Structure 1
Amino acid sequence: MSKSTIIAEEYRGGSLENEHNGIICVLNEQKEVIYSKGDVEHTPVFYRSAMKPIQAIPVFDTGIERKYNLATDEMALFCASQRGESYHQKSLKSLIEKLDLSEESLICNESYPLNESPKIDYICKGHEKRKLLHNCAGKHLGFLAYSRELGYSIADYGEFNHPIQERIREEIEVLSEYPKEKMNAGKDGCGVPVYGIPLRNMALSYLKFVKPEMINDKKKEKVLKRISDTMQAYPEIIASHDFICTVLLEDENIIAKGGAQGVYCLALKEEKISIALKVQSGTELLWPLVVAEILKKINYKNKQTIDNLYKLRSTKILSDAGEVVGETKIIL
C-alpha cells in the first residue's frame, strides 16, 4: 500500500517494527473535505458499532421513554457497546425488566463481561454467560422494543428485510446521503445487518448529529438531538470508563462512537466539523493517538480533551516492567 496511507509507525529500539495504514476524512459544515488520507470517496467501510447512534433512531422515535418510564442511562444503552461493568449490568437489568422483554428473544450470543475486572468477578461468583451481557445487548433490546411497539415480528428482527432493519438502512441513506442500493451489506458480529459506505459519507452522517437542521425534518432533528444529549449524559454507559468514547463524550462539544475493526467517528458541535477514520489493520489501540493528532491538526480549542486522550494511550511503548522501549509516531 502507498506510503501516503500510512497513519502510524511503531518503533522498538529505534527500529521500525509496525506500520498501520488508514483512511481519514474530516468534513466542515459545508460538507467539504478539509483533510483526508486515503480514498474517502469510493472505498466502502463498514460502520460496525459506529452505526449504533443511527440504529437507535427508530426506538428513540417511538415514545417508549415515557411509556415505560425509562431513565436516561437506560436509553443510552440503545446506543452503547457496553462492556459489562457493574453500572452496565444494573442498567441492562432495569431496562429489560421495564420493557418486559425476554432475554431469550435476543439473537446476540451469550457472553461474559468484556472488561477484565468485571469478567473475573463475574466468573469467580459462579455466574454463567448470558445474552444480556453481550456488548450489543442494549441495541438489540431497542430493536425488540421498536418491533413490538409497531406490531412487527420480533422473531426475525435481525434479518435484512425486517422493517426495523429496512428503516435503519433508510436512516443511513438520509444522514450519509449515500444511496441505500449502493451500500455494502453484511452481518455484524452480533448477527444484525451492518452497512459499508465511503468514509466521506460516514463523516457526513455524524455531521448531522451536530447540525441536524441539515436534514430539514423537525421531528428527526429532535430525535438526533435527544440521542446526542443521551450519549453525553452517560458517557460511561456508551462503552466504559478509561475508554476513548467516555473521554470524548465527557467533552460537551463532542459526539463520538467507535466500531470494531478500527472504525471511529466523531463530530464537534461548535465547529460543525465531523471526523471518520478507519485503521486498516483493525486495531483500536491507535484510536486515542490518531484522534488526538487530528484534533491538534484542526487546532481544537479544548486541550484538556487532547491531554486526556494521551492519558489513555501514550506515544511511548513500554515493556511489561514499565521501561520505555519504543515509540508510536502518528503520521497525518
Structure 2
Amino acid sequence: MKAQKLVEVHRGPFEEGEHWGHAVICDGAGDVVEAWGDPDAVILPRSSSKMIQAIPLLESGAGANLTTQQWAFACASHDGAPLHRDMARLWLKDLGLGDDDLRCGAQVPMSRKVADDMIRAGETPCQVHNNCSGKHCGFLMLSQHLGAGPEYVEPDHPVQRAVLDAHEHVTGMTSPGYGIDGCSAPNFATTMTGLAAAMGRFAAARADGDGRERAMHTLTRAMAAHPEYVAGEGRACTELMRAMNHKVAVKTGAEAVYIAIVPELQRGIAVKILDGGTRASEAVITALLVRLGVLQADHPVARRYMESPIRNWRGIETGGLRTVAALRA
C-alpha cells in the first residue's frame, strides 16, 4: 500500500497543494484498528518517541524521586524559554554537572520571542536551550545511575542500549536500524504500526503493572498534566493537551511525525507526513483526535489546526488547509 493524500491546500476554488502520508491507530494490545496509507512503512519517529527514550530513566529507579514536571520535561521538545532553561540548569546542578556535560549541542531557542529577548540581553544560546535538553538531562541521570561513561549518546553506550531494549519491546519489533537525531542521540527506526502500537501500549499501561508498565503510565500522565514543559506557549502539543483537559498526551517529531496516547480509550495514534510539513501533521493528528471523540470539532484549537485558514499580508482569507474526508468520516 502506498501513501495516501491526507491534507488538501486550497486557494479560492482551486486545490493548490497536497500533503501525503500515513496514519495508524492501534489499541492497547498493539493491534491495528484503522490505517491510512501504508502501515508497514518504515520511519524514524524522531522526537515523537521521547517518552519511549525516557522509559529506562523511570524503570531503572534512577528518576524515581523526580517531580512530575521533570518527567514531562524528559519527554519535551521545548522552546528554550526561561521555564525550560531553568529546569535544565537545576536538574544538572542536582547531578553535580553543568552545561558542558550535555551532548545535545547549543541551540537558539525555538521561541522567536525568547530568542529575540536573548539577543537584546546579549546572551549566547547554550545547550540547556536545546529543545532536547530535558531528554539529555534524563540520559545523564540514567548514565550516573548505571555507573557508565559521559558519552551517553553513543549507540553502544549502556543508556542507548537500554533505550533500544525499551523501543523494541513497546513497538513489538526489532528495529531495522537508526539515524542520528538533531540532538546527536540515535533515533531507532520502526514501522508506522510499530509506533502506533507502542502508543497503544502506553495508553493501556497500568499503574500497578511491572516496572516498565508503571514507567509508561507515569510518563503519559506527566506529559498530559504539564504540557507547558513538553512544548511551550502557542505550540500545538501544549494547546491540544490543554484542549483535551489534560487527559491525552500528544507529541510532535521532526519531519512531520506526530503521536497521541489516549488512555481512556486505550488507543495510540501515529502520523507521518512524507514532505515533512508540520502544518499537515498537526492537522491530521487533530482530525484523528476528533475522530476518536476526545477533542470537540468545534473547539477553537481543533478548528485552528484541522482547517487552518490562509491569509495574505492584508489579513484577507485567501484559502485554507483541511484534512481529507476519509479522516473525518
Give TM-score, length-normalised by structure 2: 0.91
Distance 2:258 2:185 in 1: 19
- Please tell me whether residue 197 in structure 1 is matched to residue 197 in structure 2: no
Distance 1:233 1:273 in 2: 18
Distance 1:45 1:306 in 2: 31
Aligned partner (choices 224, 239, 254) of residue 247 of structure 1: 239
Paired position in structure 2 for 1:148: 144
Cα distance 1:134–1:173, how it changes in 2: closer, same or farther (>3 A)? same
Paired position in structure 2 for 1:170: 165
Q: 1:288: Cα distance to partner?
A: 3.2
Paired position in structure 2 for 1:83: 79
Aligned partner (choices 287, 306, 309) of residue 281 of structure 2: 287
- Deviation string 1:266-295 (CA, Å, 9 cap, x unpaired) is 121111111101011101112332122223
Distance 1:281 1:36 in 2: 19
Paired position in structure 2 for 1:208: 201
The one-letter amino acid of 1:315's match is S
Cα distance 1:7–1:242, how it changes in 2: closer, same or farther (>3 A)? same
Q: For residues 56-71 of structure 1, what are the structure 2 equivalents within 5 Å?
A: 56-65=54-63, 70-71=66-67
The one-letter amino acid of 2:49's match is M
The one-letter amino acid of 1:269's match is P
Paired position in structure 2 for 1:267: 261
Aligned partner (choices 228, 238, 255) of residue 236 of structure 1: 228
Distance 1:153 1:31 in 2: 35
| Contact preservation (8 Å) 2:307, 2:322 | no
| Contact preservation (8 Å) 2:80, 2:111 | yes
Distance 2:216 2:228 in 1: 20
| Contact preservation (8 Å) 1:209, 1:225 | yes
Following superposition, which runs of at least 4 residues in structure 1 exceed 6 angstroms of deviation?
none
Aligned partner (choices 209, 214, 222) of residue 222 of structure 1: 214
Q: Please provide the CA RMSD for this pair.
A: 2.2
Q: 1:14: Cα distance to partner?
A: 2.3
Distance 2:74 2:322 in 1: 36
| Contact preservation (8 Å) 2:289, 2:295 | no
The one-letter amino acid of 2:211's match is K
Q: 1:196: Cα distance to partner?
A: 1.4
Structure 1 stretches lacking a partner, 5+ long: none
| Contact preservation (8 Å) 1:56, 1:142 | yes
Aligned partner (choices 86, 98, 102) of residue 98 of structure 2: 102
* Aligned length in residues: 323
Paired position in structure 1 for 2:37: 38
SS of corresponding position for 1:285: helix
Distance 1:64 1:184 in 2: 27
Q: 1:160: Cα distance to partner?
A: 1.0
SS of corresponding position for 2:188: strand
Distance 1:303 1:330 in 2: 15
Distance 1:288 1:271 in 2: 21
Q: 1:244: Cα distance to partner?
A: 1.8
- Deviation string 1:270-327 (CA, Å, 9 cap, x unpaired) is 11111101011101112332122223333x0441795423235643211122111012
Cα distance 1:54–1:301, how it changes in 2: closer, same or farther (>3 A)? closer
- Please tell me whether residue 19 in structure 1 is matched to residue 12 in structure 2: no
Structure 2 stretches lacking a partner, 5+ long: none
Cα distance 1:319–1:160, how it changes in 2: closer, same or farther (>3 A)? same
Matched-pair identity in % = 26
